[in-house]
Structure 1
């Protein structure tokens, strides 16, 4: 037995990689396909939303804008006293409406009910639910929830984390497989339909590899388990987005207005602002004098008597404008300021990476790039399933005594290689638990199939 192992320890890496690539593609490919397709739809929806909600978004183009105080009062009358005013987004340009945003019962976290007010005529143009810093509207919110959690709530987030966790590994593994057999490309032409499919599959995968790794890594920042670990790692390396102190209490270090992933803090404390609607105009003027010059911005009232108001830029296109100031409503002094140009490079890259992932950073070119990559990934997954289907096993087929399974190839590895792979798998499983659990499931399925006397063996996607 020893001699057999010693003579068979060569060439186990490639068959093992093929088997793992196959399992990941077969069992996770469907989730990757759904995430990619919904991601493509999400990237293309801003223009659709502008058409669907033209009434709410469009104002009279002629005339001077009325004070924000008057617009807030109109919105308050429209929604009623039951809602808590959370923020105001002044009309960024002529012909656009002001959003007065309220916290109301029945909305999901990070959602607000927005009253759209014509800043010139003070007419209410409509009322819609909006989400996050990006201000997505109902149509895009629906696609966003589909992309992130299949409309299944917290449980559904495991699907997107599973897809994002495996996407980079499948992509890099595919490139390694292509590199190993690149000399066989011409010979594959004689293999018929499946050979042509494999050629298209591998070529497309190599072209998309960098983009797929990028979407995988940035997508993981939103995930439940891996995302928390990424945030912790960033904090330890001092790569976090600088916080904005809103505390007016002496000796208090303040609280962060981070929420850089595009979410608002939901709190019943946002109550003390209807007494002085004129503060919105005063805060806007003070913020402008402090250097907040973006057209797209948000004014958020103080959370309580010991907190400052916040005026924050929300233009995440290029060049990125996300500066923010905290203003004491009693003295109108700036108590803290957050300047994007002063962010650490890692924090800037994180901001740009997230915005590029969402198709925001460069406008419509970014949208088209994200949509094209996502749709190409759908084609890549479909080609993989088609290759398996062409060589799927017959239901009555028997498996050889030494099936080509994961454990078959692992037994050929040296002890050092086994130890190294175990450590890597363990570390990846700790950092991305969903991937770790799914890998364990893959191995259990492989072992179970290997123990069956007459199993149905999937054919390798070679």
Structure 2
């Protein structure tokens, strides 16, 4: 590539880093916080997760659920997390206004306590990391855009490192060259692991994540299995990524003369009168050799089903399983019979890739080593940003931005090809590139106009 290409990379790398650094620092720090959410929550919520109620009378799970409903007027039970020992069972309650509450039951199915989901450590870290705790489409797109620009910064930095031989020790070292060498060395080492981390996090992004999931749904041979189903619930955060938007099958509507009643089972209804009890459903689950931990999502209509699932990226402390153990099964709400079951083996290659990639991104795919590797990469990325700014400040002139010089040379085919490839792979990045090009074009015309007027 020509010298002009190097300067163009340098200029875009500079401005990209300058504008995206605050976001990238926030995402990295919140990502580090989320890496250890299980460990933090096990300690912070020890009484809720592992403690016992003062009541020692043994209740059935259904009696425990009825007690929860009595003590939480206006709320209905929508989900149950059946945890493995020593964790307590967690119920998710939802009100008509959309407010949520977590309630925990001990081994006697007695109430231990409750939580406001908005302020749990895991949810705070997740909301900061995915939407800066502000939410909204624009913010979600902005977070995704920062991730896309991070990939460009890594690629462009790698190009400039080898083009300028920044890793070679200079004969006469200066402060700026020292910072440049450290910046280049860190960037070279973490480029591949950082790109892996970013791409394994994109399934949760607003624009590209939806595109990936849609592709996975529309092409079952490479994505998720095709089921003729009806959505079981509007919020399925504990259901595996690969089947989260799958439509659930319908329960066979009962004979209206068979004491089932003619109305539907909304979340939290008395299942003993209108359908199979949770305790009996759990027997059916055991018969299907589905082991703990798993979640139960209530049916939402008279032809809805119980959704029982095991996920590798639930975001719930104590609920994650190995990707190979992921499964989503659907049980008839009246008979409790298994209607259909989708397991990891039925996933296409795209769904399998992200089923492994998401827990890798979250740091719990292979235990503590995964957390430590992710932590080291994230800390290195923060040092990369730090030394990048140190390098800029070491050459910055007072009262001047000291941005890399503009280049008037023609754009090389290699540069165009790389930008097109990145723009196609990351559409939001491609759109932002068009905006950058438009701004550069306007600045060029303004500068050219001033030069012409000065000549005249």
* Distance in 2, Cα, partners of 1:444 & 1:211: 33
Quote the residue 1:171 is aligned against: 154
* Distance in 2, Cα, partners of 1:179 & 1:258: 45
Quote the residue 2:95 is aligned against: 104
* Distance in 2, Cα, partners of 1:432 & 1:290: 42
Alignment equivalent of 1:14, drawn from 6, 10, 20: 6
Decide whether the 8 Å contact of 2:240 with 2:328 is kept in 1.
no
Alignment equivalent of 1:195, drawn from 173, 177, 181: 177
Aligned residue for 2:149, secondary structure, equals helix
- List gaps (5 residues or longer) in structure 1: 1-8, 132-136, 249-254, 456-462
Alignment equivalent of 2:85, drawn from 75, 87, 93: 93
* Distance in 2, Cα, partners of 1:449 & 1:394: 23
Quote the residue 2:271 is aligned against: 276
Quote the residue 1:405 is aligned against: 406
Decide whether the 8 Å contact of 2:240 with 2:327 is kept in 1.
no
Aligned residue for 2:225, secondary structure, equals coil
Q: Paired residues, what number?
A: 413
* Distance in 2, Cα, partners of 1:165 & 1:16: 18
Instruction: Give deviations 1:324-372, integer Å, cap 9, x for gaps.
Output: 2211133332110111133223211111101111123223322222222
Deviation of 1:383 after TM superposition, in Å, equals: 0.9
Decide whether the 8 Å contact of 1:102 with 1:114 is kept in 2.
yes
In structure 2, the CA distance between the partners of 1:92 and 1:78, relative to structure 1 (3 Å rule), is farther
Aligned residue for 1:354, secondary structure, equals helix
Aligned residue for 1:113, secondary structure, equals strand
Decide whether the 8 Å contact of 1:97 with 1:118 is kept in 2.
yes
Decide whether the 8 Å contact of 1:21 with 1:170 is kept in 2.
yes
Aligned CA-pair RMSD: 3.4
Alignment equivalent of 1:318, drawn from 298, 319, 322: 322
Alignment equivalent of 1:125, drawn from 112, 130, 134: 112
Q: Is 1:260 matched with 2:241?
A: yes
In structure 2, the CA distance between the partners of 1:156 and 1:204, relative to structure 1 (3 Å rule), is same
* Distance in 1, Cα, partners of 2:167 & 2:418: 30
- List gaps (5 residues or longer) in structure 2: 247-263, 312-318, 451-456
Q: Is 1:349 matched with 2:353?
A: yes
420-429 or 209-218, larger mean C-alpha shift: 420-429
Deviation of 1:447 after TM superposition, in Å, equals: 4.5
Alignment equivalent of 1:306, drawn from 303, 306, 312: 303
Deviation of 1:259 after TM superposition, in Å, equals: 6.2
Aligned residue for 1:12, secondary structure, equals helix
Deviation of 1:10 after TM superposition, in Å, equals: 4.5
Q: Is 1:439 matched with 2:426?
A: no
Quote the residue 2:288 is aligned against: 290
Quote the residue 2:376 is aligned against: 372
Decide whether the 8 Å contact of 1:328 with 1:335 is kept in 2.
yes
1:31-46 equivalent positions in 2, closer than 5 A: 31-46=23-38
With normalisation by structure 2, the TM-score equals 0.79
Decide whether the 8 Å contact of 2:327 with 2:342 is kept in 1.
yes
In structure 2, the CA distance between the partners of 1:214 and 1:107, relative to structure 1 (3 Å rule), is farther
177-186 or 376-385, larger mean C-alpha shift: 177-186
In structure 2, the CA distance between the partners of 1:223 and 1:46, relative to structure 1 (3 Å rule), is same
Aligned residue for 1:182, secondary structure, equals coil
With normalisation by structure 1, the TM-score equals 0.79
Decide whether the 8 Å contact of 2:271 with 2:277 is kept in 1.
yes
Decide whether the 8 Å contact of 2:81 with 2:89 is kept in 1.
yes
1:44-63 equivalent positions in 2, closer than 5 A: 44-60=36-52
Aligned residue for 2:271, secondary structure, equals coil
Deviation of 1:270 after TM superposition, in Å, equals: 6.6
* Distance in 2, Cα, partners of 1:48 & 1:262: 29
Instruction: Give deviations 1:209-258, integer Å, cap 9, x for gaps.
Output: 1111112212222222222222233345543233666559xxxxxx9x96
Instruction: Give deviations 1:146-205, integer Å, cap 9, x for gaps.
Output: 111112221321331111111222212222222223376122x62312111111111111
In structure 2, the CA distance between the partners of 1:235 and 1:40, relative to structure 1 (3 Å rule), is same
* Distance in 2, Cα, partners of 1:385 & 1:302: 54
Decide whether the 8 Å contact of 1:88 with 1:98 is kept in 2.
yes
